[in-house]
Amino acid sequence: MKIHATDRNGKAHELEGRDGWTVMEILRDGGLDVSAECGGACACATCHVYVAQEWYDKLTPPSEAEIDMLDMALAVEPTSRLSCQLTCTPELDGLTVTVAPE
């Protein structure tokens, strides 16, 4: 599966997603500037991304923990998600996200 990701400088990247990996891991390993301070524990909100509107509704809805943690994210928008809580699956081939500012 492919992930289309725009970094904080507006540059577009096409990344190879891996089944079962989190989107945060794919972004981080792809060299995008996602600090993911807590390492994927849904405890820091530093892997915040904006999901393209057409993809947002196809995702598993955020857990209570993620909704709470988004309160600590900056510049939250209606399609904000924490990328450590998004798991790559074949159905998400083409997932399009933008790394949120920090």
Partner 1 sequence: MTTKVETDVAIIGAGPVGLFAVFELGLLDLKAHVVDILDRPGGQCTELYPEKPIYDIPGLPIVTGQELTDRLMEQIKPFSPTFHLSQMASSLHREADGRWRLTTDTGSEIVAPVLIIAAGGGSFVPKRPPIAGIEAYEGKSVHYAVRKMDSFKDKDILIAGGGDSALDWTINLAPIAKRLTLVHHRDGFRAAQHSVNKMRELVAEGKVNFHVASVKELHGTDGQLEAVTLSGADKKEWTHSCNAFLPFFGLTIKLGPIAEFGLNLHENLIQVDTARFESETPGIFAVGDINTYPGKLKLILCGFHEAALAAQAAFHICRPNEKLRFQYTTSSSSLQKKLGVA
Using CB under 8 A as the criterion, which residues of the chain lie in contact with partner 1 when the complex forms?
35, 37-38, 41, 43-46, 67-76, 101-102
Nearer to partner 1, 12 or 67 (CB): 67
Extract the tokens encoding 12.
């577009």
User: Is 2 or 8 the residue whose CB approaches partner 1 more closely?
Assistant: 8
What is the C-alpha separation between 72 and 90, in angstroms, rounded? Answer: 30
In terms of phi and psi (left: phi > 0; alpha: psi -120 to 50; beta: otherwise), the region of 16 is: beta
Comparing CB distances to partner 1, the nearer of 82 and 92 is 82
* Least Cβ distance, residue 29 to partner 1 (angstroms): 14
